[in-house]
């Protein structure tokens, strides 16, 4: 059985787990922390990067985008989460780009505030990253609005999953920087997503689960 390594409080691990399940790819989820389980994680992947995906052969893929790029190639077209081409594909890439940028800046904010001693925190850096985070969220909200993007799609797709996971993470960690009320479309999208079985199977906290999609 293939394995996905990493904690679900990481938006990158969670988007990967939800996406793999939505595509019907069976895997075991092993909840290892890059902080609390460093040595154990290092034994699996010396780079200690989450998510890490382990094939039955022992080969390793890392980075959520790379793992999901492989997954798209491994399933029939009917189970893929990305449009094949054209305007729909371009829109998907734009939404995912904003969402991943927001994730990156949110993680930087969280690390700066939670991991670095207060006396060593650099406020100009925090201000800059917070500004970038706000710009990414505003860009994402605007793109969802101007494109009239479906906030409750009948079939899951990658832009929806990535945007929803990013928003949940941001709201759980930095609601003071990104007030939910200022982003109504993102809030609506996320509220719907968190009721879906694929999202409920991989909650953003907890030890993780084994969840092949029948």
Read off the pLDDT of residues 146-168 as tens digits, 9 standing for 90 and up: 999 999 999 999 999 999 999 99
Q: What are residue 49's phi and psi, to 5 degrees?
A: -120, 130
Q: What is the pLDDT of residues 3-29, one digit of tens each?
A: 999 999 999 999 999 999 999 999 999
Confirm whether pTM is higher than 0.75.
yes
The Cα-based distances of 47 to 62, 84, 117, 184, 209 in angstroms read 9, 32, 25, 38, 24
Q: Indicate the helix (H) or strand (E) that contains 30.
A: strand 28-30
pLDDT of residue 119: 81
183-213 burial, b if ≥16 CB within 10 A, otherwise e?
A: bebbbebbeebeebebbebbebeeebeebee
Which regions of the chain are under pLDDT 70?
Answer: 206-214
């Amino acid at each position: 059985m293939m394995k996905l390594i990493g904690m679900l409080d990481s938006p990158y691990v969670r988007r990967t787990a939800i996406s793999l399940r939505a595509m019907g790819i069976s895997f075991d989820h092993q909840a290892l922390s890059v902080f609390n389980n460093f040595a154990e994680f290092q034994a699996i992947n010396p780079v200690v990067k989450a998510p890490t995906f382990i094939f039955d052969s022992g080969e390793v893929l890392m980075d959520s985008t790379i793992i999901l790029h492989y997954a798209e190639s491994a399933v029939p077209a009917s189970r893929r989460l990305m449009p094949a081409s054209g305007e729909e594909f371009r829109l998907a890439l734009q939404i995912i780009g904003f969402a991943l940028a927001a994730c990156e800046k949110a993680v930087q904010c969280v690390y700066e505030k939670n991991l670095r001693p207060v006396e060593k925190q650099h406020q100009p850096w925090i201000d800059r990253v917070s500004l970038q985070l706000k710009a990414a969220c505003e860009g994402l909200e605007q793109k969802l609005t101007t494109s009239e993007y479906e906030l409750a799609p009948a079939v899951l797709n990658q832009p929806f999953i990535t945007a929803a996971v990013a928003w949940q993470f941001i709201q759980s960690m930095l609601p003071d920087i990104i007030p939910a009320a200022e982003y109504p479309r993102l809030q609506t999208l996320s509220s719907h997503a968190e009721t879906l079985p694929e999202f409920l199977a991989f909650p953003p906290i907890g030890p993780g689960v084994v969840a092949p999609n029948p």
